[in-house]
Amino acid sequence: MRRVIVLAALLAAGCSRDDSAERRARLGPNPGFAQLMRVADAEAGARRFGQCAACHSIAAGGQDRNGPNLHGVYGAKIGQNSARFGYTEALQAQAGTWDAARLDRWLADPRGMVPGTSMAFPGVRDPLDRADLIAYLKTQS
């Protein structure tokens, strides 16, 4: 039975190389954000980016889709990464740049952080999944 559950978890993760279960076990319950970022895995994040790719390209010079191209978004000014994209005023009114902490809030709950945003995405519940995504965005910046 245990085996079946592990296998199902691996299948759900979409890749047998995913070691997020081990990383989670090492982190223990309620890890802090700094701890999560320390074990974040950009390769796992690249696979998780599949859920963003319907709306976002990430290659340098990639087309905007439903959402803006995200190449270089880590460290960029909020609401300005793609010069051609029609951002909402709500997002453009945000001060500052996309650092790890802001990306974490955004990816957890886009509409919670920026009411009125057009990013129609419910958010990524799992903190380690978000950390992996952020690590990946960083490698593409």
Q: Of 95, 100, 82, which Cα lies nearest the Cα of 35? A: 100
Give the one residue of 54, 59, 93, 101 binding ligand HEC; rule: CB under 6 A: 54
Toward ligand HEC, which CB reaches closer, 73 or 131? 73
Secondary structure of residue 12 in the 3-state scheme: helix
d(CA 81, CA 55): 14
In this structure, what token pair is assigned to residue 18?
């995913």
Q: Which residue has the tokens 């993760």?
A: 13
Secondary structure of residue 117 in the 3-state scheme: coil
* Least distance in angstroms from the C-beta of 15 to ligand HEC: 17
Toward ligand HEC, which CB reaches closer, 39 or 58? 58
- The verdict on 121 binding ligand HEC (CB under 6 A) reads yes
Give the one residue of 36, 37, 39, 78 binding ligand HEC; rule: CB under 6 A: 78
Other CB atoms closer than 10 Å to residue 136's CB: what's the count?
Answer: 24
Question: Can you give the binding site for ligand HEC, defined by CB under 6 A?
Answer: 51-52, 54-56, 66-68, 70, 73, 78-82, 87-88, 90-91, 98, 107, 117-121, 124, 133
